[in-house]
Amino acid sequence: MSSENIATILHVDMDAFYASVEERDNPKLKGKPVVVGAGIRGVVSAANYEARKYGIHSAMPIFRAKTLAPHAVFITPDLEKYSAVSKEVMQIFNDVTPYVEPISLDEAFLDVTGAKRLLGSGRDIADLIRKRVEKEQGITCSVGIAHNKFIAKIASAACKPNGVLEIDPAKMLDFLHPLAASQIWGVGAKTNEQLAKMGLFTVADIANTPRNTLIKILGQASGASLYELAWGRDYRDVITEHIEKSISASETFSFDIDKQEEILKEYLRLTEKVAERMREKNLAANTITIKVRFADFKTITRSKTLDLPTTGTQEIFEVVKALYLALNLDRALIRLVGVGLDSLVENEDLQQMVLGQRDSGWRQVDRAVDLVKEKFGRSSLRPARLVSEDDEDNSG
């Protein structure tokens, strides 16, 4: 196969995205360790490279980050600002190729195989993107170039920050096999521990292990996938249109609480938040999940799959409430709660003319509420249970 016929995939990843945007907007932060994360009881959303020198990383508890670098600058996340920057960055990608698959606010896969005819080689296109992102948004990104998504993503991680790395398909295994096994997709802490017990520490170790052995130890799906990836085989296309699989939100309390009324009040607020986001995207949920994290950081989740997908805030909250009450926590101290809507499908908004169809009343209420909030702001209309005493005092 000629080089012209080989796919060229880019993985573009912003460098310390949230922190970089904050540094851009406040030049006084340059050269200082910057950590983006909410509250002493929250977790790190992003850390710039200065902060990472102290061992700070994403998902680390804020209190731990402050212990490691008490002199660092800690900033509350501004998701609306980051989302706005992300849209501008994604537009740069779409100017290059229509085949863009966003993975999150700060990264995406691009298939530039066809774009090479007009814009040059994969490296030329990567350089073009990096220059535009820096000039137009004032931040930097790293780009991995390869013939498939898996290798491109590993390449972008290997050239951070502000770098570009192209992996020649003929030399792919020379690049891939010396890497640690943990760099393969799907190898988390538990899987990595299992692999270590088998004496498998590098990608080469996995590649040279019989496929059936991996399947026997890790299961059919994980074992087979791991074997294929260890040989650099990834046949997935760049998907330009896809339905979000889940929408979730969580809240870490300012202090551990055990009062059922307060916990359910927070679950209602989170339910409102995720249900609105889901309806904005014209989706419906098949599965509802709650998360509970205790004072000792132990975390549990519980889910329920519905007979029919739903868009209704009230219906979702009734399931959330039932899932929580079924835990019988007996005044256990709780640190965080979360609500997730999973197995999302497109909401065709059709009347379900079948036995057991849902009453449309709550759906109409939700639609009216969404319209009011769209016009007057999200805080303009809320359930009475979510109106604080301060709000009531200020209303007079």
Element (H, E) at 45: strand 44-47
Amino acid residing at 159: C
pLDDT score recorded for residue 305:
92
Given 169, 185, 206, which residue is the final one in a domain? 169
pLDDT score recorded for residue 363:
55
Q: Is 224 within the bounds of a domain? A: yes
Catalytic residue among 22, 23, 107, 272: 107
16 shares its domain with 155 = yes
19 shares its domain with 104 = yes
CATH number of domain containing 53: 3.30.70.270
Beta strands 246-257 and 141-146 are unpaired
Q: Is 239 within the bounds of a domain? A: no
Sign, CA dihedral 234-240-243-245, equals positive
133 shares its domain with 182 = no
129 shares its domain with 207 = no
pLDDT score recorded for residue 246:
86
Which residue positions in the chain have pLDDT lower than 70? Answer: 1-5, 242-243, 348-396
Q: Is 235 within the bounds of a domain? A: no
CATH number of domain containing 219: 1.10.150.20
pLDDT score recorded for residue 2:
46
pLDDT score recorded for residue 367:
58
107 is annotated as an active-site residue: yes
186 shares its domain with 320 = no
pLDDT in tens, 100-117: 999 999 999 999 999 999
183 shares its domain with 135 = no
pLDDT score recorded for residue 379:
53
4 shares its domain with 81 = yes
DSSP string, 239-305: -SS---SEEEEEEEEEEEE--HHHHHHHHHHHHHHHHHHHHHTTEEEEEEEEEEEETTS-EEEEEEE
Domain extent for 108? 1-169
Tokens 């310390």 map to which residue?
16
pLDDT in tens, 19-46: 999 999 999 999 999 999 977 788 999 9
pLDDT score recorded for residue 349:
47
pLDDT in tens, 104-161: 999 999 999 999 999 999 999 999 999 999 999 999 999 999 999 999 999 999 999 9
Q: Is 51 within the bounds of a domain? A: yes
137 shares its domain with 66 = yes
pLDDT score recorded for residue 376:
47
pLDDT score recorded for residue 322:
96
Specify the number of domains making up the chain: 3
pLDDT score recorded for residue 188:
85
Q: Is 238 within the bounds of a domain? A: no
| This prediction's pTM | 0.72
Q: Give the residue ranges of the annotated binding site for Mg(2+).
A: 13, 106
SS3 51: helix
Q: Give the residue ranges of the annotated binding site.
A: 13, 106
